[in-house]
Amino acid sequence: MNPSLFSPEGLAEVIFLILIGTTILGASIATLSKRLIRSVIGLAICFLGVGGLYYFLNSPFVAMMQLLIYVGAVCITMTFAIMLAEPDDEKASRKYKSVSTWAAAPLGGLIAYGLSRLAIQGQWLAPAEKINSGSVKDLGMSLLNEYSMVFELISIVLLVSIIGSLALARVGRRKQ
């Protein structure tokens, strides 16, 4: 049942666990840290783990994009924003004292327990051995065939967010 640690399957499992651990560790740092800049670093670590998971799921291209866009661009932009805004660390420190925090912890735990029980007991489909090679070509083919409408719609969504942020930024600047 349990493959030996040094067989290919065993090693794959170890790598998988490391990736999951990285993701969870990064997410915990991002949420628990009291300084904003540390949260961003935590987020970067989390994205790193997620990128590894994509690679594990046989999509090297998406994994690479995850690293390039999220770790490389998004987190760096956030760091710049934080450095420019100089948030007051004293104010940013959170207080864990309100009643709702105490109520949220057991509730969150209960939901996590329920979902993990579902995940263990569910009648999931056997994972497909390999759908395609996960190459850029396959990705392009499915983006322009099955997901052509989604592909076009995403471009409109991106356009909306760019125009929206520009319009809002312009209004904000005019006021001051």
Assess contact for 44 and 66: CB atoms under 8 A: no
5 binds other proteins (CB under 8 A): no
CB of 90 to other proteins, least distance (A): 22
Burial of 40 (0-12, 13-18, 19+ CB in 10 A): buried
User: Residue 124 corresponds to which amino acid?
Assistant: W
Binding residues for other proteins restricted to 151-170, rule: CB under 8 A: 153-154, 156-157, 160-161, 163-164, 167-168, 170
CB of 63 to other proteins, least distance (A): 18
Name the residue with tokens 């590894």. 52
Residues 6+ apart with CB under 8 A from 24: 49
CB of 140 to other proteins, least distance (A): 15
Binding residues for other proteins restricted to 108-147, rule: CB under 8 A: 114-115, 118-119, 121-125, 128, 145-147
CB of 6 to other proteins, least distance (A): 31
CB of 147 to other proteins, least distance (A): 7
Joined tokens for residue 36: 């904003």
Q: Which is nearer to other proteins, 97 or 174 (by Cβ)?
A: 174
Residues 6+ apart with CB under 8 A from 61: 134, 135, 136, 139
Give the integer Cα–Cα distance in Å for 94 and 92. 6
Interface residue list for other proteins (CB under 8 A) = 114-115, 118-119, 121-125, 128, 145-150, 153-154, 156-157, 160-161, 163-164, 167-168, 170-171, 174-175
